[in-house]
Amino acid sequence: MVLRKPDYFGHFHCLAGACPHSCCEGWEVVVDGPTADYYRSLPGPLGDRLRTALQTGDGEDYFALTDTLRCPFWDTDGLCAIHRLLGPECTSEVCRSHPRFIEDYGSVRETSLCASCPEACRLLLASSTPLTFPLTQTDEEGEPADPWLLPLLAVRAKSLEILEDRSCRLYSRFAELLVFTNAAQSLLDEEAADRLPDLCSTWTTPAVCTPPAGDGLFPHGWEVLSGLEILGSDWRTLLLRGKEAVPGTVPAPLLERIAAYFLFRYELKAINDGDLLGRMQFVLFSALTVERAASLLPLPEALRLYCREIEHDAENLDALLWAFRSDPVLSAFSFFQTLEI
Ligand code: SF4
């Protein structure tokens, strides 16, 4: 099996008790089935405490938050009582894996570190060099690959190449990504995925036409985000101030890395539904939103909040993909207007 991770992955270490925004705060902790069964079978006072904390709803077991919005097993020293008393292997799967997002594509496994975690966010923003995603090979057997996997891997590699071509202005690269992805989407729609590698190898930067006049993605984009599920009051406050936000405050190399972070995680997901263009719109919308939010908050905080609110909520992700298909103010034209092509 081939493993692919961002180049800073190996430097990640959980800050544990020193974390300023612990993942044990603000989220209900979902407890996977085998771990919940183990907790229910555990004798003694700790077993009683686990059973009391364990709730079930919508077919899931979870720990409800305390009145102070903390996991009930998050102790005042910032450490996890289950981790300390039973060992890390006895914490729920979501606790063991956070902030890693793991995607299996048959013979390829990709792992990223969600920038909702302050340490993962710090590592992403700690360098100005183009973000890379090295490969390693293991002896593990993967599942048979989807026929779209290799063509879409070629599309993503070309997308990263366009994004990281620093001989062009970053917004011009964003616009080219939209044009390139639109061409790739047409081939997918024609059921000609086998022609995608050719598209990638013969692609040349096109002349981009000037779009009709319009406001672009913002401020409407803030209203779209305000209509999604909101987890924290800090995000709600930011959304209310969205109209004050302006672009241009983030150094281009960092905004490029942020776009590469989203591109790595999301573009290949088109393998599931064929919506390549919607994924690219999501990637660019995310980078452009974070860029504007960074005029109101420090960049790491703007990125962390966006990722916490959007990337951990499947309903929010689906709602945004739907909005790119259905809302004319989030159309490709609006992107071009925002990018001032
Ligand atoms: S948010 Fe990140 S650094 Fe903080 S406790 Fe969770 S995994 Fe560790």
**What is the per-residue pLDDT for 341?**
59
Q: Which of 101, 127, 137 is nearest to 2 (CA)?
A: 137
Task: Give distance in angstroms: CA of 100 to centre of ligand 1.
Answer: 11
* Ligand 1 pocket check for 19: Cβ under 6 Å: yes
**What is the per-residue pLDDT for 145?**
82
Each residue's pLDDT expressed in tens, for the chain with a length of 341 residues:
999 999 999 999 999 889 998 888 888 899 999 999 999 999 999 999 999 999 999 889 999 889 888 899 998 888 899 999 999 899 999 999 999 999 999 989 999 999 999 999 999 999 999 999 999 999 888 888 889 999 999 999 999 999 999 999 999 999 999 999 999 999 999 999 999 999 999 999 888 777 778 889 999 999 999 999 999 999 999 999 999 999 988 999 999 999 999 999 999 999 999 999 999 999 999 999 999 999 999 999 999 999 999 999 999 999 999 999 999 999 988 999 999 85
Helix (H, G, I), strand (E, B) or coil at 70: strand
Tell me which residue has its CA closest to atom 8 in ligand 1: 14
**What is the per-residue pLDDT for 311?**
96
Contact (Cβ atoms closer than 8 angstroms) between residue 250 and residue 238: no
* Ligand 1 pocket check for 304: Cβ under 6 Å: no
**What is the per-residue pLDDT for 51?**
94
Distance CA 10, CA 6 (A): 9
Distance CA 313, CA 323 (A): 15
Task: Give distance in angstroms: CA of 23 to centre of ligand 1.
Answer: 5
* Ligand 1 pocket check for 15: Cβ under 6 Å: yes
**What is the per-residue pLDDT for 250?**
97
Tell me which residue has its CA closest to atom 6 in ligand 1: 23
Tell me which residue has its CA closest to atom 2 in ligand 1: 117
Distance CA 270, CA 243 (A): 32
Q: State the closest ligand 1 atom to the C-alpha of 120, by its place in the atom list counted from 1.
A: 2
* Ligand 1 pocket check for 311: Cβ under 6 Å: no
**What is the per-residue pLDDT for 76?**
83
Whole-model pTM over 0.85: yes
* Ligand 1 pocket check for 2: Cβ under 6 Å: no
Task: Give distance in angstroms: CA of 87 to centre of ligand 1.
Answer: 17
**What is the per-residue pLDDT for 334?**
93
* Ligand 1 pocket check for 245: Cβ under 6 Å: no
* Ligand 1 pocket check for 27: Cβ under 6 Å: no
Site to probe by mutation for ligand 1, drawn from 97, 117, 305 as the one with most ligand atoms within 8 Å of Cβ, is 117
* Ligand 1 pocket check for 14: Cβ under 6 Å: yes
Element (H, E) at 135: strand 135-137
Task: Give distance in angstroms: CA of 124 to centre of ligand 1.
Answer: 15
Tell me which residue has its CA closest to atom 7 in ligand 1: 14
**What is the per-residue pLDDT for 26?**
84
How many residues are given for the chain?
341
How far the first Cα of the chain sits from its last, in Å, is 42
Contact (Cβ atoms closer than 8 angstroms) between residue 262 and residue 286: yes
